[in-house]
């Protein structure tokens, strides 16, 4: 392996710093733009290469000492070596760069990210690999290897409490998941196993527990098969197999932004695409005439229906199915839309159907700048303008970038 010396220029999507050597782009993890570094080339292609940081000859003033002893081996965090204010600045720059390069969207207003009130100990859920020896581990960065973990500095204390209270005999156990309600104190332990045999388990605190066999529904071992979380005073049931935002205080900011951007007048039909347990649609139900939620996960649809009943919402319907399959059958005139797709973005067929329905405003909640840029470009081509993009830092100490974009129909 050869070593080179270079000065890093900017942060790339994916969390690595980027510099150039002999005209070739070099990506370097755990480095910071502005630093002069020694790098060992570990992967090389025709126009780019990836290097391992060997030495920092001229450190950035934004470099700090990571808290976690596993940092640099564990794949969970990539930016613990960067002070938090600089992390926010880099996320804005990366997001703007992706919009310009991939989406060809020049001049879009990308606001400074809304910082997390908790830069540490914020995650309300976690998924561990269980090793053959019964130890808890995370995936190593860019590797299939695992890193044994005894403590994680981004987990909420309620998650850590479950892990500390847990004693398991874990034959054939593949993964464990923990979900907690930060504002309710509820805790759920989820066991993924290769069979239907329940492991031997002792817990020193009252925690709900379910078993996820290779097929079929979750099996309740103790308590309930769900937790309840509160966001902006509203209760949301979240089942073992339902998605929910991992940073509860920032989820509330997402809800506030969607309401602010869409600014409903009271009678509109609102499409809530990829609605999950109904976080956005139910929060806006009292401000619109009707909510139509679409979600492919049957467990999340069931949660959304129960959440609507608990919240006294009577003007919301939830349809189980993929967006690209459900939207062609919608006959209602859609005035407003909020979409919160997975990291892969909106499926092309669903995007074209959304353009056909032509809501006058769309709030796009994204967790990936690259797919966001791709989808925004398609919406612009379909008759929309991107008014503003507001990042919300859901994942401090990592490169992941959450954002809410306001997209408005050009013909109003």
Exposure string (b/e) for 111-137, b if CB count within 10 Å is 16 or more? eebbbbebbbebbbbbebbbeeeeebb
User: CA–CA separation, 126 vs 188, rounded Å?
Assistant: 11
Residues 6+ apart with CB under 8 A from 216: none
Cα-based angle 402, 297, 188 (whole degrees, multiple of 5): 75
Contact in structure between 225 and 239 (CB atoms under 8 Å): yes
Torsion of CA 285, 289, 294, 295, to 10 degrees: 10
Contact in structure between 177 and 127 (CB atoms under 8 Å): yes
User: CA–CA separation, 66 vs 109, rounded Å?
Assistant: 32
How many angstroms separate the first and last alpha carbons of the chain?
58
The dihedral built from the CA positions of residue 65, 70, 73 and 78, taken in this order, carries a sign that is negative
Q: Which helix (H) or strand (E) holds 119?
A: none
- Just list the catalytic residues: 367
Residues 6+ apart with CB under 8 A from 325: none
Candidates 366, 377, 303; CA nearest to 340 is 366
Cα-based angle 302, 303, 306 (whole degrees, multiple of 5): 90
Cα 152 to Cα 135, 156, 209, 317, 397: the distances in Å are: 14, 9, 21, 39, 12
Contact in structure between 190 and 226 (CB atoms under 8 Å): no
* 3-class SS of residue 48: strand
């Amino acid at each position: 392996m050869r070593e080179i010396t270079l000065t890093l220029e900017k942060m790339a999507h994916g969390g690595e710093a980027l510099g150039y050597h002999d005209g070739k782009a070099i990506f370097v993890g755990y480095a910071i733009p502005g630093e002069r570094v020694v790098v060992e080339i570990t992967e090389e292609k025709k126009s780019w290469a990836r290097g391992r940081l060997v030495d920092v000859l001229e450190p950035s003033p934004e470099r700090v000492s990571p808290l976690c002893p596993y940092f640099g081996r564990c794949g969970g965090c990539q930016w613990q070596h960067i002070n938090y204010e600089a992390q926010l600045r880099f996320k804005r720059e990366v997001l703007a760069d992706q919009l310009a390069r991939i989406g060809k969207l020049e001049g879009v207003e990308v606001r400074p990210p809304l910082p997390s009130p908790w830069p540490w100990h914020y995650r309300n859920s976690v998924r561990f690999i269980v090793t053959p020896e019964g130890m808890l581990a995370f995936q190593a960065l860019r590797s299939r290897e695992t890193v044994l973990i005894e403590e994680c500095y981004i987990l909420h204390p309620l998650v850590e409490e479950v892990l500390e209270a847990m004693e398991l005999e874990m034959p054939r156990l593949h993964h464990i998941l923990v979900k907690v309600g930060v504002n309710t104190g509820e805790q759920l332990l989820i066991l993924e196993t290769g069979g239907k045999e329940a492991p031997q388990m002792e817990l020193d605190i009252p925690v709900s527990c379910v078993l996820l066999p290779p097929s079929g529904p979750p099996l309740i071992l103790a308590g309930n098969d769900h937790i309840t979380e509160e966001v902006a005073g509203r209760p949301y049931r979240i089942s073992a197999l339902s998605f929910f935002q991992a940073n509860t205080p920032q989820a509330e900011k997402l809800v506030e932004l969607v309401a602010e951007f869409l600014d409903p007048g009271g009678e509109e039909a609102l499409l809530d695409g990829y609605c999950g347990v109904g976080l956005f649609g139910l929060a806006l139900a009292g401000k619109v005439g009707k909510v139509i939620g679409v979600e492919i996960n049957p467990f999340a649809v069931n949660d959304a229906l129960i959440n609507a009943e608990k919240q006294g919402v009577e003007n919301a319907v939830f349809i189980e199915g993929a967006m690209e399959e459900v939207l062609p059958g919608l006959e209602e005139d859609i005035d407003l839309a909020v979409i919160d797709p997975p990291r892969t973005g909106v499926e092309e067929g669903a995007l074209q159907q959304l353009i056909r329905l032509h809501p006058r405003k769309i709030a796009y909640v994204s967790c990936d700048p690259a797919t966001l840029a791709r989808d925004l470009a398609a919406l612009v081509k379909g008759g929309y303008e991107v008014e503003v993009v507001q990042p919300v830092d859901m994942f401090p100490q990592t490169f992941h970038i959450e954002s809410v974009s306001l997209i408005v129909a050009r013909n109003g």
